[in-house]
Structure 1
Amino acid sequence: MRDPVDLTGGDHAAALPGEFTVLVAVVDDTVAISLHGELDIATAPQAREAFDAALSGPAPAIFVDLGALAFVDSSGLRELIRLHQLAQARAKVVAISPGGPATQRAFELSGLDDILPFVDAGL
């Protein structure tokens, strides 16, 4: 396992509540992406950058952890839909670990909880 890579350029020791960070690690044949903070119109490009890097790499699987996500808006939802669609087109597997109740509510209200590949958070 490689050490997580910060793709945001932020100083996480001094991270403020609501600040968005993306951590990426490669575990065996899986790219693990952990999103922290608020995924919205301002931060969606950072998530897209991590997703695109995972999609263009050799790993056949991408795992996205939303457990530390405090908020997601329609821009963030769109990036996760895009990831899922592009992964399918490239024969890659995507698994998404759900966020907390407030974050997950956005997926439920939009119906995306039935479309996106959510997995048990304990996995």
Structure 2
Amino acid sequence: MSLQVSVEHVDDVARCVIVGEVDMATTPQLRDELLGLVDAGERYLVLDVSGVPFLDSTGLGVLMEVHRRLRDVSGSVALVGARPALVRLLTITNLSRALPVYRSVEDATDAVGGHSAAEVSG
């Protein structure tokens, strides 16, 4: 299955819609796309993963790499639209602090921009 990533800029936030399975075959593309945004100067990313039916450990590794790179430049990343299995995975691996999940794109956008919003708990 192929992976599609589209990006929309809203103020200082890059909203990325990810569609497709994120696995060993597609993580190189996802990594290149997301880190390319960071390298281009983006500091705030909202990742809409509602179109991601599956995300394996390699995908989780890419998301954590994006988090670390953004943290190093005082930026942040948030997820929106995560399926229950991904929310559980982030919770049990204790990664939900680094990769918070929000109910709406607007809440996630506010959160990465420094405003408070309600997170989805697992």
Q: Does the TM-score normalized on the shorter chain lie above 0.5?
A: yes
Q: C-alpha separation between the residues in 1 aligned to 2:66 and 2:37?
A: 9
Shift of 1:122: 5.4
User: Which segment drifts farther, 64-73 or 107-116?
Assistant: 107-116
Q: Where does residue 6 of structure 2 map in the other structure?
A: 23
Task: Report percent identity of matched pairs.
Answer: 27
1:17-43 deviation line (CA, Å, top 9, x unaligned): x43211122222111111111101110
Whether the 8 Å contact between 2:49 and 2:81 is mirrored in structure 1 is yes
Q: C-alpha separation between the residues in 1 aligned to 2:41 and 2:98?
A: 25
SS in 2 for 1:106: helix
Whether the 8 Å contact between 1:73 and 1:106 is mirrored in structure 2 is no
Q: Where does residue 80 of structure 1 map in the other structure?
A: 63
Compute the RMSD of aligned alpha carbons.
1.9
Q: C-alpha separation between the residues in 1 aligned to 2:9 and 2:18?
A: 15
Are residues 115 and 91 of structure 1, via their aligned partners in 2, closer, same or farther at CA, if it must alter by over 3 Å? closer
Shift of 1:45: 0.8
Whether the 8 Å contact between 1:65 and 1:97 is mirrored in structure 2 is yes
SS in 2 for 1:38: coil
Larger Rg: 1
User: Which segment drifts farther, 105-114 or 43-52?
Assistant: 105-114
1:115 is aligned to 2:98: yes
Q: C-alpha separation between the residues in 2 aligned to 1:114 and 1:89?
A: 16
Whether the 8 Å contact between 1:98 and 1:104 is mirrored in structure 2 is no
- Give structure 2 stretches of 5+ with no counterpart: 107-122
Structure having the larger proportion of residues in strand? 1
Matches within 5 A, 1:62-101: 62-101=45-84
The aligned amino acid for 1:21 is Q
Whether the 8 Å contact between 1:22 and 1:46 is mirrored in structure 2 is no
Whether the 8 Å contact between 1:32 and 1:65 is mirrored in structure 2 is yes
Q: C-alpha separation between the residues in 1 aligned to 2:81 and 2:45?
A: 14
- Give structure 1 stretches of 5+ with no counterpart: 1-17
The aligned amino acid for 2:86 is T
SS in 1 for 2:36: helix
Shift of 1:103: 3.4
